[in-house]
Amino acid sequence: MASTTLLWKKNLFICCIASFIVSVGMSQMAPILPLYIAELGVDNPARCYILCRRFCQYRHP
């Protein structure tokens, strides 16, 4: 029973660390996202805004 308790705590810790790393990575990418979308060929600023908002919604449900 003790090993099962330690196993889920270890898994929870790993998941929390992984979630933190992904969150930091996404927050570093978010400021340059409009430039990246423009590089893909989206010239309309309104469409670029919509695509950026959709990305942010997926990041923070």
Taking only the tens place, the pLDDT of each residue in 36-48 is 888 888 888 888 8
| The pLDDT of residue 60 | 47
| HEC assignment per residue over the chain | CHHHHHHHHHHHHHHHHHHHHHHHHHHHHHHHHHHHHHHCCCCCHHHHHHHHHHHHHHHCC
Overall domain count for the chain: 1
- What domain range includes position 10? 2-59
Confidence label for 61 from pLDDT (cuts 50, 70 and 90): very low
Q: pTM score, two decimals? A: 0.56
Summarised one tens digit per residue, pLDDT across range 1-37 is 556 778 889 999 999 999 999 888 878 877 788 888 8
